[in-house]
Amino acid sequence: MRDVIRSGKAAARPALLLLLLLVEVVLVDTGSLASAVALAATAAAGSALAACSVIAARCAPAVPRTRVRTAIRDREMRTAFLPQRDPDARGRRRPRAPGRPVLTAA
């Protein structure tokens, strides 16, 4: 776990340098402190989100291929045999074959 923390600190250094450069550019171009603070907050939140997602991805256990295959096979077996309607069930009309129309009394 300490290796992950160390690598996170090492990755934060270039991000911090980039953030300082962007703040300087924003202050020189517009002169607005509010826009610089907004940019800094957005960059900090984005880098924190990226660091958290990298750490979470490293900590997630790998799923064995056999478990994936078994899950796919089980899902296939469940969906292969869906209950079908019985066309001969009581109260159900038989479907007619296409052909001549049935004459009805007018």
Residue at 97 is within a domain:
no
Task: Report residue 34's pLDDT band, with 50, 70 and 90 as the boundaries.
Answer: confident
Q: Tally the C-alpha atoms within 13 A of residue 60's C-alpha that lie toward its C-beta.
A: 9
- Round to whole Å and give the CA distance between 78 and 80: 6
Residue at 27 is within a domain:
yes
Task: Report residue 69's pLDDT band, with 50, 70 and 90 as the boundaries.
Answer: very high
The total number of structural domains in the chain stands at 1
Q: Would you call 85 helix, strand, or coil by DSSP?
A: coil
Domain, as residue range, for 30: 2-77
| CA distances to 69, 77, 87, 88, 94 from 102, in Å | 53, 43, 21, 22, 15
Mean pLDDT of the chain: 75
- Mean pLDDT, range 36-64, rounded to an integer: 85
Residues above pLDDT 70, as percent of the chain = 67
Q: Is the full-model pTM beyond 0.75?
A: no
Q: Please identify which residue in the block is written with the tokens 């750490």.
A: 55
Residue at 51 is within a domain:
yes
